[in-house]
Structure 1
Amino acid sequence: MASIPIPPAQSDDAPESYVGLDAEAAKRLARVRGWTTVRALPPGAIITMEYLAGRLNFEVDGGRVVRCWKG
């Protein structure tokens, strides 16, 4: 029988802590804090809604994070 895959590590920090930060600085900080995937999206972007453990999503407008969520 195949082994059960182990999901990637996910940081325990609050996504709200990234709101208002410069997008590039927020990406670097997220990586330091242990997020394996960091995705920056423009406002209103059409995305799939699958949850991916270890991913942090940023909605970026004018170079600043205006919304942030896990998955």
Structure 2
Amino acid sequence: MDEQEYVGLAQQEAERLAAERGWRTVRVLAPGAMMTMDHREDRLNLAVRDGRVERCWQG
């Protein structure tokens, strides 16, 4: 699944699919939230507002 295919999914569904597809770490953030800037190849980041994924990226 392409990272952008998570956009629009409910948070729980996106987290479940990410785990099924082998993402070791899934980080859920509010849009614009402060975060560490360390890059991790095995991490999928989900920006979630009102229970839906607005943005998704690796690292």
User: TM-score, length-normalised on structure 1?
Assistant: 0.79
Query: More displaced, 24-33 or 47-56?
Result: 47-56
Q: Among residues 20, 29, 36, which one is paired with 2:17 in the alignment?
A: 29
Task: Identify unmatched segments of 5+ residues in structure 2.
Answer: none
Task: Identify unmatched segments of 5+ residues in structure 1.
Answer: 1-12
2:56 maps to 68
What do you get for the CA RMSD once the two structures are aligned?
0.7
SS in 2 for 1:68: strand
Q: Displacement, 1:15?
A: 0.8
Highest RCO, 1 vs 2 (Cα 8 Å, sep ≥ 6): 2
Give the structure with the higher percent helix. 2
1:38 maps to 26
Letter of the 1:47 counterpart = M
Aligned length: 59
Which runs of 4 or more aligned residues in structure 1 lie more than 6 Å from their structure 2 counterparts after TM superposition? none
Q: Percent identity?
A: 53
User: TM-score, length-normalised on structure 2?
Assistant: 0.94
Query: What does the per-residue CA deviation read over 1:20-52, in whole Å, with 9 as the maximum and x for residues that have no partner?
Result: 000011000000001000011011100121101
